[in-house]
Structure 1
Amino acid sequence: MKIFFPCLLFILMLAGCAQIPTPPPTETADWAAHQQQINELTDWSLRGKVAIITAENRHSLNIYWQQNGENFHITLTSFLGTTILDVKKTALGTRIIDDQGKIYFGKNTQTLMTQLSGIELPVEVLQQWIKGNPSGAVFQLNENNQLVSLTGQDNKNDNWSVDYQDYKTVQKTSLPHKLDLSRQDLLIKFAIRKWLLEKTEIF
């Protein structure tokens, strides 16, 4: 009897431990701190490549994106360096220069880009998503508290999904370097070569 009760107690302790579930990766203090860090990252620029793929066409372009608060300047060029689209947004509105050098003005950047070039790029929400910040979206994290996917809407209420494949640390900040942005009829693949985390004037 003296042996039986310690054994029973030991078995009950093991059973209790076995019933404690292992929580899946969720928002933690580390993620909250990281999201605050990228929320505060309002002045940055990046260089890389972007592939725009539809059922009919595929375009591969160089991209330069300069962000200064709510203002930004995006330049898309061919591999030969020819400017395909030059997009500048300030508080006054959006100015776009097309591949013929013609200048256009408007208030809605995404709509104006689509009308002039056929390029669907949800730039208003992508300002956050491209940093790995799931602003206004449903998202999933990996075991390293990095964003691996999100589903959200642009300002036209179109649904987009973003998958993140690669992160690198830039000036002590973990930032995406490869991501795929997709809609039902469109795939946009980003390969970011370089991030620069400092304030530069929009030119």
Structure 2
Amino acid sequence: MLITNRSTRFARYTQAPRRAALGFAVAAAVVLAGCASVKPQGPSTSNAATAVTAQTTRAYHGRFAVQYVDQNGAQRNAYGNFAWQETGDTVSLQLRNPLGQTLAIVTSSPASASLELPNRQPLTADNVSTLMQNALGFALPVEGLRYWLQPSPAPTSKAQTEQDPQQPSRLKEIRQDGWTIDYVAYADAPATGVKRVNLSRDEPPLAIKLVLDQ
């Protein structure tokens, strides 16, 4: 397993926001300078048919922690806040460092994707995985997250699901497209939806922790 002592590691991000922000910026700069030829890893469903209608609108805000391995085989960490806006088939994802400064803005639709970095020209590609991998060193599974955050398996591929034995109406785990999605906590009533979710895959190694604000 890529992440050990997950809860301890994740808690540290609130104790060292400046170090985390600097680490993310350095990692992004190194990748931008040297990995233009990196190919996207893992399956992408950017061009697949989707069950989300044009009228669907969703928004999520919260915190993220990412642990990944860069092109040189070194383990890297990124922490911060995120804002997710989904309208129909289009997703806009803004990543900020713990101090609130924008790190990247990603826009994904079935036809194309773009990524904006501070003080740089926008980058474009036909899928979001390519852009994030080349620019940031890791790629969040944006297309899968559209469904996993609901929570529900994506309709574009086969999935295995496990219900929460304590509350069978809730999902405990989804395994899909090489990802394991663990639902750690749900919001307390009267709020609804996912509160904490961990995502991980083995190849290439990538682990993501999300805490959603209600």
TM-score by length of 2: 0.64
Q: Does 1:101 align with 2:120?
A: yes
Rate the CA distance shift 1:169–1:133 in 2: closer, same or farther, 3 A.
farther
Q: How does 1:133-148 map to 2 (within 5 A)?
A: 133-135=152-154, 136=157, 137-143=159-165, 144=167, 145-148=169-172
Q: Distance in 1 between matches of 2:111 and 2:149?
A: 24
Secondary structure, counterpart of 1:134 in structure 2: coil
Aligned residues with identical type, % of pairs: 24
**8 Å contact 1:93–1:106 — kept in the other structure?**
yes
Q: CA deviation at 1:54?
A: 3.0
Number of matched pairs: 151
Rate the CA distance shift 1:69–1:169 in 2: closer, same or farther, 3 A.
farther
Q: CA deviation at 1:78?
A: 0.4
Secondary structure, counterpart of 1:133 in structure 2: coil
Structure 2 stretches of 5 or more lacking a match?
A: 1-51, 70-74
Q: Does 1:166 align with 2:207?
A: no
Residue 61 of structure 1 corresponds to: 80
Over residues 16-38 of structure 1, what are the superposed CA-to-partner deviations in whole Å (9 max), with x where a residue is unaligned? xxxxxxxxxxxxxxxxxxxxxxx
Residue 175 of structure 1 corresponds to: 193
**8 Å contact 1:110–1:124 — kept in the other structure?**
no
Rate the CA distance shift 1:50–1:142 in 2: closer, same or farther, 3 A.
same
Letter in 2 for 1:151: R
**8 Å contact 2:114–2:131 — kept in the other structure?**
no
Q: Distance in 2 between matches of 1:171 and 1:93?
A: 38
Q: CA deviation at 1:81?
A: 1.6
Higher strand share: 1
Structure 1 stretches of 5 or more lacking a match?
A: 1-38, 154-158, 195-203
Letter in 2 for 1:166: A
> Hey, which bits of structure 1, 4+ residues long, moved more than 4 A?
169-172
Rate the CA distance shift 1:54–1:91 in 2: closer, same or farther, 3 A.
closer
The RMSD of aligned alpha carbons is: 2.4
Q: How does 1:42-121 map to 2 (within 5 A)?
A: 42-54=56-68, 56-90=75-109, 93-121=112-140
Rate the CA distance shift 1:97–1:163 in 2: closer, same or farther, 3 A.
same
Rate the CA distance shift 1:170–1:105 in 2: closer, same or farther, 3 A.
farther
Q: CA deviation at 1:85?
A: 0.9
Q: CA deviation at 1:47?
A: 0.5
Q: CA deviation at 1:170?
A: 7.7
Letter in 2 for 1:188: I
Residue 190 of structure 1 corresponds to: 210
Q: Distance in 2 between matches of 1:70 and 1:53?
A: 28
Rate the CA distance shift 1:171–1:44 in 2: closer, same or farther, 3 A.
farther
Over residues 51-105 of structure 1, what are the superposed CA-to-partner deviations in whole Å (9 max), with x where a residue is unaligned? 0013612111110000011111100010112211101124652121013432111
**8 Å contact 2:108–2:127 — kept in the other structure?**
no
TM-score by length of 1: 0.67
